[in-house]
A and B are shown apart, each in its own frame.
Chain A
Amino acid sequence: MDLFPLWLSLRVALSATALTLAVGIPVALLLARVRFAGRGLLEAVVVLPLVLPPTVLGYYLLVVIGSRGPLGRALAAVGLELAFTWWAAVLAASIGSVALLIKSAQAGFETVDRQLEQAARTLGRSEWSVFWSVTLPLAWRAVLAGAVLAFCRALGEFGITLMVAGNIPGRTQTLPLAIYDRVQAAQMDEAHALALIAVGIVVVLVFGLSRVARLRY
């Protein structure tokens, strides 16, 4: 059995989770701590990927990164291509899963008593240091829970990925796409095996971490 889709999906989901953390934590912190005009709008935009049809998201993403899109053309000018590469799959998975991380991390940051952060400031700590020594240590469980959910969602990303990365065997065919492919080709045994692997990974991650790190989703 060809296990390329499994390794690709793991690689994509891990990269997407990293990207999601890098982008999502500052956004979550912003939403949890700062009152600003347009905050409500940002909150709505954050949950959009959860509620819009994935193919719609994929379509617009393709419009942006495709060879005729603004980003696609800019990248092409320096000899790079994003659409229909595994990087496009990473981007697709990130967009599909970032909301889960942001919502979970935001809720976590909101439970941290602001007075603790203020105490740290009066004790001379910079904003950066306040985050790393007070806010994150007190909210890491929520951030990790969000990251686990985001990873699982990224692992299962189908619609956006299909639109922007295609379904190229050996190049961009991720686990969910491969399962779809096998079913289409009536190779039910292989589809079943791949599906079981996906279930196994998610169950181990979600339930294992909820036991070990006492995470709550």
Chain B
Amino acid sequence: MVSVELVKRYPGFTLDVRWEAEDAVVGLFGPSGAGKTLTLQCLAGLITPDAGRIVVDDRVFLDTAAGVALPPQARRVGYVFQGYALFPHLSVAENVAFGLRDRPRAERARRGAEVLERLGLAGLERRRPRELSGGQRQRVALGRALAIDPALLLLDEPLSALDAPLRRALRDELRELLAAWGTAAVVVTHDFTEAYRLADRIVVYEAGRVIQSAPRAELLWRPASEAVARIMGLSNVLRGTVLKATPERIQLRWRGQTLEAVNSPTRSYLPPPERPIAFFVRPEYVRLIRKDRGAPDALHHMNLMRGRVVGEVDFGTVWSLRVRLDAPGPPAQGDFDLEVEVPHLVYEILEIDRDRHWEFSLHRGSIHVLPS
């Protein structure tokens, strides 16, 4: 269990966050400069906040109201720094055993060897950090942090120092490793995919604040606000006007169309009519209506729109089409209204490269309303 409450003021930036997690791995996700790393430094005791309280399991690391502030040495947290901060003058074995100095010599050697073995670093004991590959360095940094049996493992952008192909492989390896060691961890990342793969719970940071904290699946399917959706990098984050809201449905107007969306009963979000409303549409959920299959019936083709493909990008397995609706007024996203993803096969069968004018349909379940 990790419980964090922090206020730290700098000229031009204030960190003011509060979150709690029972989960094994917590991801702090958000753009650079949002205060994620600062939170890690406060957790480790490297920076003392102006006010706050940090509790890990049953140990109070910090309680400014009670005058408690454990020094980093007394917290027993394993910190994996961005860029790893391995001691360049020490060997792999010495790096890993660095935090074990208070233990008897035999115990130190045993534990060091055990960690090296478990992380697949056996045989590299005498190498210096500069003689290792990026992936090996990451494992040495992990091993050095894990060797002390940390109450909490802190990882700051653990994959950012690696090349792209290696990143993906090591992301999954890291996930397995965290699960295998069973150590509670907090991972900082600005990459949503990384946060989603590594963390059970994701805490979204923006400009020194937490704008959502949720289990990862909930965050993926139900971002709490437009800001969260934009930080997650979702496509088609749009703004319309409410026509009518019930606990089951929300009717809204957008670009001259009347759209029907599913409301979330658990959230019971009931904005009044004429209120601006944000929503997003996953580009892979937009349906292209085939012209060879007869007239679309209203039930299966709700939220029907007509538009022209004005741009397209080949992503290898899918085409991303930029569609401009046949509606007066400026398009919603620069020179287009909707991003639509179609698989290569569909693109070829329908000959979209020649036929640019189409009808599109949005199932109401694929329009995700974003409460403000």
Contacts and interface: CB of A to CB of B under 8 A. Distances in A.
Interface in B78-102: 78-79, 81, 83, 85, 87-89, 98-99, 101-102
A124 B76 contact: yes
Contacts of B89: 137-138
B72 interface: yes
Contacts of B210: none
A115 B78 CA distance: 14
Nearest to B76: A124
B221 to A, nearest CB: 36
A119 B102 CA distance: 16
Given A116-B87, A119-B85, A125 B78 contact: no
A115 B76 CA distance: 17
B149 to A, nearest CB: 11
Q: Which of B44, B76, B83, B98 has the most CB of A within 10 A?
A: B98
B148 interface: yes
B194 to A, nearest CB: 21
A162 B333 CA distance: 82
B101 A129 contact: yes
B46 interface: yes
B39 to A, nearest CB: 15
Contacts of A123: 98-99, 144, 148
B77 interface: yes
B87 A122 contact: no
A120 interface: yes
A125 B46 contact: no
Contacts of B133: none
Interface in A116-132: 116, 118-126, 129
A139 to B, nearest CB: 10
Nearest to B88: A138
A116 B95 CA distance: 11
A67 to B, nearest CB: 49
Size band of the interface chain A makes with B: 10 to 19
B87 A121 contact: no
B73 interface: yes
B87 A134 contact: yes
A134 B94 CA distance: 12
A124 B85 contact: no
A124 B46 contact: no
A126 B81 contact: no
Contacts of B44: 118, 122
Contacts, number: 57
Nearest to A129: B101
B81 A115 contact: yes
A171 B77 CA distance: 60
**Which secondary structure dominates chain B's binding surface?**
loop
A118 B76 contact: no
Nearest to A137: B89
A113 B99 contact: no
Contacts of A129: 101
A124 B99 contact: yes
Contact of B83 (A115, A120, A126): A115
B72 A121 contact: yes
A116 B85 contact: yes
A137 B144 CA distance: 19
A122 B98 contact: no
Given A118-B46, A119-B81, A129-B101, A124 B87 contact: no
Contacts of B46: 118, 121-122
A108 to B, nearest CB: 13
A134 B86 CA distance: 11
Contacts of A119: 79, 81, 85, 87, 144
Given A124-B101, A138-B88, A118 B73 contact: no
Interface string A124-154: 1110010001100110000000000000000
A59 B77 CA distance: 55
Interface in A175-216: none
Interface string A152-183: 00000000000000000000000000000000
A33 B100 CA distance: 26
Contact of B101 (A118, A121, A125): A125
A122 B147 CA distance: 12
A128 to B, nearest CB: 11
A122 B79 contact: yes
Interface in B107-156: 144-145, 148
Interface of B: 44-46, 71-73, 75-79, 81, 83, 85, 87-89, 98-99, 101-102, 144-145, 148
Given A115-B85, A121-B45, A124-B102, 19 more contacts: A113-B85, A115-B81, A118-B72, A119-B81, A119-B85, A119-B144, A120-B98, A121-B72, A121-B73, A122-B44, A122-B46, A122-B75, A122-B77, A123-B98, A123-B144, A124-B76, A124-B101, A133-B98, A134-B87
26 contacts: A113-B85, A115-B81, A118-B44, A118-B72, A118-B81, A118-B85, A119-B85, A119-B87, A119-B144, A120-B87, A121-B71, A121-B72, A121-B73, A122-B45, A122-B72, A122-B145, A123-B99, A123-B144, A124-B76, A124-B99, A124-B101, A124-B102, A124-B148, A125-B73, A129-B101, A138-B89
